[in-house]
Amino acid sequence: MTETQLLPVVWTLASMTVAVLAILFVSSAQLDQLRAIRGGRLLEQFLRLVYFIGVPYAALLTGSIASIDMGLTGTGGSILGWSPAEWLRGLSTALTLGAIVLLPMGVASRQIARAGRPLGVDDRSGGAVIVEAIYAEVHWAFYRAAPLILLGDVYAAVLFGALLVGVEWIVVLIRNGLSPLPEERQNWLRRGVLLALSAALFALTQNVWLTIGLHAVLELMWKVWLRRLVPRPIEAGRVPIGPAHDPDVRPLHD
């Protein structure tokens, strides 16, 4: 293994080590305590920014990986290394994959809601959804870079990148267990589907900007759709407009 191949592996293993240590030694209760103090939330967001964006950026600055390895630029073209025709083909591929995933999930969730089973609701703001989509896609693209450099095959790279992400998720499940709450189970299902969709789109286009856009749009649409499926509670004290009807009382002309 040459130095050019070794450095991306070192960066990837360092990122995974930080993630695993944070998962094992920082509990949800400790996070809640951090968020409760003044500036705690700001510190948490700063650390997440450093991890998800700063680490890949540092690897790019040191030349350990190239922007093309993460899908930030193409091989040649007027728009970030891709031609307008390539952007249109990539966008068509993204829309097709999005429809293939979103339509069955939308229909299934509607049937589940009609059956009276509980559905979770995403309470994040729209801005938070977009930020999380960027963080996730950059993180996943970073984990694909080292396998792509080592193997030179984009299909193998997306597979190994997904396996690396899966290792982090398994550590989370071992540490915290699988919650019985529908929101948590739905969150795991959504993340798994989005990871598979991201891998497929990256394999076909090698354009991380398209994966970010599709990820954010699907999350926002899914958020809105689930909120529409949740039954609205009847407000206490509200009375229907118009006269009340008693089936035992008949009109006088009868």
Per-residue pLDDT tens digits for 94-105 = 999 999 988 888
**Residues paired with residue 79 on neighbouring β-strands, in sequence order:** 82
Where in the chain are the domains? 3-228
This prediction's pTM: 0.88
In sequence order, the 6+-apart residues with CB closer than 8 A to the CB of 41 are 34, 35
In this predicted structure, the answer to whether residue 213 has a pLDDT above a threshold of 70 is yes
State the virtual CA torsion across 241, 247, 253, 254 in degrees, nearest 10. 160
12/65 Cα distance (integer angstroms)? 10
- Dist CA 185 CA 155 (whole Å): 28
What are phi and psi for residue 35, nearest 5 degrees? -70, -20
Q: What is the pLDDT of residues 111-121, one digit of tens each?
A: 877 777 767 77
Positive/negative CA dihedral, 58, 64, 68, 69: negative
Distance CA 248, CA 237 (A): 24
Q: What is the mean pLDDT of residues 174-184?
A: 82
